[in-house]
Amino acid sequence: MTESEFNELADAALGRIERSADASGADIECNLNGPVLELEFAGGSQIVVNRHGPNREIWLAAKSGGFHYAYRDGRWISGRDGSELFAKLGDLVTSETGKTVKF
């Protein structure tokens, strides 16, 4: 995958996350600044999602830990635990807000 292909896919994923969070009705403040999307919650915690170009991955940082996702077969998949980015993010957001949010 070329750098521009990666950037296009990663930017689309960040946009999808931002739109889904905004439309969810959950108390989430989204701040997109270049390759970094911060999801801030009412209790003060946050989840950070960022495009990491050198590794061609999307990185997700939450209080429960950090996760790295590479684009494989049309999905963002973790090489460590096999989780899918949008499903993992949904679980993390649900634990923060108590609401089910689909990304």
What would the pLDDT profile of 49-66 be if each residue is shown by its tens digit? 999 999 999 999 999 899
pLDDT > 70: percent of the chain: 100
For the entire predicted model, the pTM comes to 0.92
Q: Report yes or no on 102 lying in a domain.
A: no
* pLDDT over 90 (residue 6): yes
Q: Report yes or no on 65 lying in a domain.
A: yes
Q: What is the pLDDT of residue 43?
A: 86
The residues, any chain, with a CB within 8 Å of residue 39's CB and separated by 6 or more, are 17, 21, 28, 29, 30, 46, 47, 48, 49, 93
Mean pLDDT of the chain: 95
* pLDDT over 90 (residue 103): yes
Q: Report yes or no on 50 lying in a domain.
A: yes
Q: Report yes or no on 53 lying in a domain.
A: yes
Question: How many domains does the chain contain in total?
Answer: 1
Q: Report yes or no on 44 lying in a domain.
A: yes
Q: Report yes or no on 21 lying in a domain.
A: yes
CATH number at residue 71: 3.30.920.10
Q: Print the domain residue range for 75.
A: 3-97
